[in-house]
Chain A
Amino acid sequence: MSQARSSKWGWLFLALGFFFLYAPMLSLIIYSFNENRLVTVWSGFSTKWYGELFQDEQMLNAAWVSFRIAFYTACASVVLGTMAAMVMTRMRKFPGKTLFGGMITAPLVMPEVITGLSLLLLFVSLSAWTGLDFARGMLTIWIAHVTLCMAFVTVVISSRLAELDRSLEEAAMDLGANRIKVFFVITLPIIAPALMSGWLLAFTLSLDDLVLASFVSGPSSTTLPMQVFSSARMGVSPKINALATILIVTVSTIGVIGWYFMQRADRRRQQEMQLAAKQ
């Protein structure tokens, strides 16, 4: 009786919570098909804002810059994040471990205005000291994004590594495989789903960042969020609604597909474990 009642309250709370989370995004999508320039006054169905969006050279250029940065950021973050996760979960003690751990967790919460400003000052100082030109542009944005994203990737991969059954690795080691071979043959395939979700997380984080990019970008490297921000500052525009719809639909699709594959891999692994246990 009380169980049923409490779960009814639970459903109610969840429904309200999800309404709060999703209603604003739904409103963006619906009004992107509004013919009226005044975004929130409905006057008829139209896809003309999508047409205008795809003619907007600046927006398209910014999107291309952002996609390239996000792709390279995701790749580098997964490599560095996997290494950092191995260090965090597998190495008991080494000098500097406290500092290492601090530098992994602090970027997760550090306000981006602080990191952005400090990184910019680093690039400017490096240029002054070395005489080399650390021109602000895609490279500096990439560095800033990798530094932020690798922390998130490390958390995702560490939690996978921590619940991994060590006996498989030990068995391979006993059979004479060295650490590097064990990592590539045993560990990597098991944590592959975590690598995939880490990659996607880094990609979306990089695609989304406004503050870091604003500090460290140069004149020729305007990213998509910077472009969106400068037009959104002028007020709402139906073109941004169209862009938002495309982004929301793309990300949700990728998210659902990624989630489905993770689920399937998880289920299959559980079945294999049960099978192994029976034998």
Chain B
Amino acid sequence: MGFLGRSGRRGAAIMSARWRRFIPGSRWGLILIPFLWLLLFFAIPFLIALKISFAKAAIAMPPYTDILYWVDGFPVLKLRGENYLYLLGDSLYIKAYLSSLKIAVIATTFCLLIGYPMAYAISQMNPSTRNIALLLVILPSWTSFLIRIYAWVGILKPNGLINNFLMDIGLIDAPLKLLHTPIAVYIGIVYAYLPFMVLPLYTNLVKHDHRLLEAASDLGAKPWQAFLKVTLPLSKAGIIAGCMLVAIPVVGEFVIPEMLGGPDTLMIGRVLWQEFFNNRDWPVASAVAMVMLALLIVPIMIFHRAQSKEMEGRLS
């Protein structure tokens, strides 16, 4: 082959590897640019929110007190726990956290119950139909989230499509109250987040080896037994990824409870929004955010582990 021969080429490669170490070139530039971006605009903001959650609201710009100030040339750090005590003291906040968690768990369960059969059916198709079905699942998540939620307002409202239809066929005399109820919130969440459940499940299910099911059936397992003993355990990673992808953002959801829920639909994302935009109490809003983050940190880490396996898994 080359005139240098095998060992000569390797020698050249080692030389250039040695040189590369002294050039602060591609490797570190590649890491540092996205790293610094995320550090500055994703990680550090949380620290600032943590800091401000210990401050006190003030009528000023920015509307909070400094927690670090100077007295006779010495820095004084004053951390106020008031905001957190306030959250604990007012049952509204605890109720909002609990009801957000409850809504997230129930809605995720429904997404899984609807999404799993869909993902399974798609994974069983032949490749060309499969791609079309997959496109049909993804397409709604590309069109505006807000508009898809808005569509349900028109369907569920008192003179909306469902009530009009039921009254036309004479099943009911007066319109049912559907909009601004918990049911509307559940419908909205399942509707908006279903694609996020189907996709990771499909990615997992499509990789399964058919021969395992054939082996199970050869050994006398009925189809449902083979499903419970082979397919379901093998798809555990997909189920975890899908559930986290739905449940975590739903806990902090604002748009759906605001548009489809009633005034009594308590969700913590909505409470945070009101603290910030209506009450203009930035420190309390920060404390609400920090407690939410503390509740979600374990699920986020579980999701991170599943996701990074997916991202690096096929690396040789």
Q: Decide: A233 near B147, CB < 8 A? Known: A83-B33, A113-B254, A128-B62.
A: no
A55 to B26, CA, bound (A): 51
A207 to B230, CA, bound (A): 42
Q: Decide: A14 near B289, CB < 8 A? Known: A89-B312, A118-B46.
A: no
Q: Which listed residue (A96, A114, A232) contacts B35, Cβ 8 A?
A: A96
Please state if A13 and B117 are interface contacts (CB–CB under 8 Å).
yes
A228 to B34, CA, bound (A): 33
A residues 89-115 near B (Cβ < 8 Å) are 89, 91, 94, 96, 99-115
Please state if A114 and B159 are interface contacts (CB–CB under 8 Å).
no
Q: Which listed residue (B30, B223, B316) contacts A86, Cβ 8 A?
A: B30
Shortest CB–CB separation between residue A156 and chain B, in angstroms? 11
Contacts of A24 in B (CB 8 A): 148, 151-152, 155, 191
Q: Does B121 contact A (CB under 8 A)?
A: yes
Contacts of A241 in B (CB 8 A): 154
A210 to B258, CA, bound (A): 13
Q: Does A125 contact B (CB under 8 A)?
A: yes
Interface size of B by Cβ–Cβ distance < 8 Å? 96
Shortest CB–CB separation between residue A178 and chain B, in angstroms? 8
Please state if A263 and B143 are interface contacts (CB–CB under 8 Å).
no
A228 to B259, CA, bound (A): 12
Interface size of A by Cβ–Cβ distance < 8 Å? 101
Shortest CB–CB separation between residue A93 and chain B, in angstroms? 11
Shortest CB–CB separation between residue B113 and chain A, in angstroms? 11
Please state if A103 and B269 are interface contacts (CB–CB under 8 Å).
no
Q: Which listed residue (A2, A27, A80, A162) contacts B314, Cβ 8 A?
A: A162
Known A20-B191, A109-B244, A210-B146; 9 more pairs at CB < 8 Å: A21-B191, A27-B151, A80-B33, A99-B43, A103-B35, A106-B300, A109-B303, A114-B272, A150-B38
**Residues of A that sit less than 8 Å from B by CB:** 2, 6-7, 9-11, 13-14, 17-18, 20-22, 24-25, 27-28, 31, 38-41, 80-81, 83-84, 86-89, 91, 94, 96, 99-115, 117-119, 121-122, 124-125, 128, 143-144, 146-147, 150, 155, 158-159, 162-163, 166, 174, 178-180, 200-201, 204, 207-208, 210-211, 214-215, 225, 228-229, 232-233, 235-236, 240-241, 243-244, 247-248, 251-252, 255-256, 259, 263
Jot down 25 A-B pairs with beta carbons below 8 A, ordered by A: A10-B121, A11-B121, A14-B121, A21-B195, A27-B154, A40-B154, A41-B159, A41-B164, A81-B34, A87-B35, A89-B312, A99-B43, A103-B42, A105-B307, A106-B300, A113-B272, A114-B252, A146-B41, A147-B37, A163-B314, A204-B142, A225-B146, A229-B146, A247-B144, A251-B144
